């Protein structure tokens, strides 16, 4: 016997007892009264003579009518209880069926909407289940898309390495310092991608190591900005840093915070048209803004999600594995902060990061 049918029967029995008990109790009381007047229930009540023939007929009718009414009421109660039990249990059964389909790999399965007559609780159960199923479907679609993207990112440097190594083997290329630098560049791309995946895995499992030390955010960011100055100049971009006069000190991991800014700058370098601005505030909040094409309004809240990639701002053609912004959010959350995205004053993307300060 299926578990769902057991629950359905138990629910039906409970409803039957709830509905039929008051009716049967009332009718059996009438029957008891009639028996009390006439007697003869296993000789418990002494038999009384009817005062008149009319009273005897009335008593007999009362007793039989009570019996028939009790039987009819019990039958009606059973039917009503069965209908109600099926109606109440239907959303649970449908949710169970949809859950089994999802377990079997059909992530598009949904439970039908529950009728309003069954109450708000049943409707909310179905709604929450369908929202969960939709989230799982989107997550799985994003995972597959990201796996394809990662395979693409891995394939590019591997293909370049293979081609150049084949050229060296065939004697078409000469192994010199310049060639070694090109090979090292492709290996570095592979190392960064693998390291990003490793860090994201650690962050998702709550095992990301974070050092606790005093960090001067102002000095740290000045060092990071200076390392990007040459690349910004090569791309004909103006890179500016605005910091408060006083030091901004916090407890955290300097390497992780430097990587947060580096990932945001890498993203801006790929999309900015002419300028990038970094601002640091005394509260520990800092922002990175560019004048690029920006991100559609409806996608701003999702750019930090793992496995999510917008069509324009994070396309393959502009480079990047799509892991930089999820890493930014993961590193900030490890420091008790978070990142938000909005449209900047120049129409591009502005990312604001908040973190606790001593």
CATH code of residue 200: 1.10.287
112 with 198, same domain?
A: no
In a domain, 321, yes or no: yes
The pLDDT assigned to 135 comes to 85
Q: Which residues of the chain have pLDDT under 70?
A: 1-51, 55-56, 58-59, 62-63, 65-67, 69-70, 73-74, 77-78, 80-89, 114-119, 307-321, 357-358
Cα 353 from Cα 358, distance rounded (Å)? 16
154 with 271, same domain?
A: no
Domain stop point among 100, 118, 136? 118
The pLDDT assigned to 324 comes to 84
291 with 166, same domain?
A: no
Cα 157 from Cα 186, distance rounded (Å)? 5
Bridge partners (DSSP) listed for residue 116: none
In a domain, 128, yes or no: no
236 with 344, same domain?
A: yes
Contact 209, 202 (CB under 8 A): yes
232 with 348, same domain?
A: yes
57 with 175, same domain?
A: no
Residue 236: CB partners within 8 Å, gap ≥ 6? 274
In a domain, 127, yes or no: no
106 with 149, same domain?
A: no
In a domain, 262, yes or no: yes
73 with 198, same domain?
A: no
**Number of domains present in the structure of the chain:** 3
224 with 193, same domain?
A: no
In a domain, 135, yes or no: no
In a domain, 123, yes or no: no
In a domain, 318, yes or no: yes
Cα 329 from Cα 322, distance rounded (Å)? 13
The pLDDT assigned to 87 comes to 65
The pLDDT assigned to 21 comes to 62
Helices 177-204, 324-334: crossing angle, 10 deg rounding:
50
Residue listed under structure tokens 């502009």:
318
Cα 218 from Cα 243, distance rounded (Å)? 7
Residue 72: CB partners within 8 Å, gap ≥ 6? none
Residues 70-107: b if buried by 16+ CB within 10 A, e if exposed: beebbeebbeebbebbeebbbbbbbbbebeebbeeeeb
Cα 36 from Cα 38, distance rounded (Å)? 6
Residue 264: exposure state from Cβ atoms within 10 A (0-12, 13-18, ≥19): buried
94 with 171, same domain?
A: no
Residue listed under structure tokens 């908040």:
354
Instruction: State which H helix or E strand residue 331 sits in.
Output: helix 324-334
Instruction: State which H helix or E strand residue 216 sits in.
Output: strand 213-216
The boundaries of the domain holding residue 239 are 213-354
Cα 265 from Cα 203, distance rounded (Å)? 21
Contact 217, 248 (CB under 8 A): yes
240 with 344, same domain?
A: yes
The pLDDT assigned to 312 comes to 43
CATH code of residue 229: 3.30.565.10
Q: Is 180 helix (H, G, I), strand (E, B) or coil?
A: helix
In a domain, 139, yes or no: no
């Amino acid at each position: 016997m299926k578990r769902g049918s057991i629950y359905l029967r138990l629910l039906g029995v409970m409803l039957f007892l709830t509905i039929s008990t008051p009716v049967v109790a009332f009718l059996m009381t009438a029957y008891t009264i009639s028996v009390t007047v006439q007697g003869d229930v296993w000789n418990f009540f002494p038999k009384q003579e009817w005062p008149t023939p009319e009273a005897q007929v009335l008593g007999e009718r009362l007793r039989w009518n009570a019996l028939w009414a009790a039987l009819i009421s019990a039958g009606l109660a059973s039917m009503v209880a069965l209908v109600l039990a099926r109606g109440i249990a239907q959303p649970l059964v449908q949710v169970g069926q949809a859950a089994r389909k999802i377990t079997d790999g059909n992530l598009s399965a949904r439970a039908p909407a529950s009728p309003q007559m069954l109450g708000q609780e049943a409707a909310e159960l179905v709604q929450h289940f369908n929202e969960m199923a939709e989230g799982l479907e989107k997550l799985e679609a994003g995972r597959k898309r990201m796996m394809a993207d990662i395979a693409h990112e891995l394939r590019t440097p591997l293909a370049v390495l293979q081609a150049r190594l084949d050229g060296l083997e065939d004697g078409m290329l000469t192994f010199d310092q310049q060639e070694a630098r090109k090979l090292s560049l492709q290996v570095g791309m592979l190392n960064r991608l693998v390291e990003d995946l490793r860090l994201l895995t650690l962050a998702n499992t709550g095992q990301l190591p974070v050092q606790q030390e005093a960090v001067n955010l102002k000095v740290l960011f000045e060092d990071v900005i200076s390392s990007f100055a040459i690349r910004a100049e090569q791309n004909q971009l103006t890179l500016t840093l605005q910091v408060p006069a006083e030091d901004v000190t916090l407890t955290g991991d300097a390497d992780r915070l430097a990587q947060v800014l580096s990932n945001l700058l890498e993203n801006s370098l790929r999309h900015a048209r002419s300028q990038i601005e970094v601002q640091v505030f005394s509260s520990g909040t800092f922002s990175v803004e560019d004048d690029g094409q920006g991100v559609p309004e409806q996608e701003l809240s999702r750019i930090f999600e793992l496995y999510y990639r917008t069509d324009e701002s994070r396309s393959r053609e502009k480079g990047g594995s799509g892991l930089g912004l999820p890493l930014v959010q993961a590193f900030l959350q490890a420091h008790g902060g978070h990142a938000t995205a909005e449209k900047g004053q120049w129409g591009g993307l502005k990312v604001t990061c908040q973190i606790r300060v001593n």
